[in-house]
Amino acid sequence: MKNLWSPWRSNYIESFKEKQSAGECIFCAAVEKDIKDMENLVVHKSKTTLVMMNLYPYNNGHLMIVPKRHLGSLEQITTEESHELMDEILLAEKVLQKIYSPQGFNIGANLGRAGGAGIEAHIHFHIVPRWNGDTNFMPAIGEVKVISQDLGETKKRLLAGYTEIHI
């Protein structure tokens, strides 16, 4: 087996150490954000959860579904939060399917630093749209991931998609 190293990814993960130790949590701060404000990444809120775009997306439309309460582990989630998290993952899949027509999805959570969590103090789930051939030589050789859409444009499309599907 051969290994491909991606040291640029560690820069991203390490960037959160200072913020976490200072007591700041981007997810807790996002709870108070207005969805319509184009300066933040929040695209949808429900009773116990919120959905926001990833500032460092793997692909266009990379979303995170987050409990509003600051929770560090799955065992702290209530039944209501658990059900709503799954409902919001399903809704996000529908919205992303409508907007981007991906050929697949990666859906999951990275729990703890060893599990790959960039922000480990507040659990969250990722949903990443995928297309055949979306992994190419750029990340492996060029150390660059090509994201073909501006985050502002992505947010506009997501807000429209949530409005159309959720109402």
Phi and psi dihedrals of 59, rounded to 5? Answer: -150, 165
Gap between the Cα atoms of 137 and 114, Å rounded:
27
Gap between the Cα atoms of 120 and 21, Å rounded:
11
Candidates 44, 62, 122, 124; catalytic one: 124
Gap between the Cα atoms of 28 and 71, Å rounded:
10
- Cβ-in-10-Å burial (0-12, 13-18, 19+) of 81 comes to middle
Tell me what percent of the residues of the chain surpass a pLDDT of 70. 76
| Residue 23, Ramachandran bin (φ over 0: left; ψ between -120 and 50: alpha; else beta) | left
CATH 3.40.50.10480 fits 25-166, yes or no: no
Alpha-carbon torsion (56, 59, 60, 61), positive or negative? negative
Closest CA to 63 of 33, 103, 96: 96
Question: What digits encode the pLDDT tens for the residues 39-54?
Answer: 899 999 999 999 999 9
Q: Which residue did the predictor score with more confidence, 80 or 131? A: 80
Q: What is the pLDDT of residue 2?
A: 53
Q: Where are the alpha helices (DSSP H) in 44-128?
A: 79-100
Collapse the DSSP code of 92 into the 3-class scheme (helix H, G, I; strand E, B; otherwise coil) and give the result. Answer: helix
Band (pLDDT 50/70/90 cuts) for residue 115 is confident
Residues 134-146: what's their mean pLDDT?
52
Is position 83 annotated as part of the catalytic site?
Answer: no
Residues 127-149: what's their mean pLDDT?
65
Question: What digits encode the pLDDT tens for the residues 117-134?
Answer: 788 889 999 999 998 877
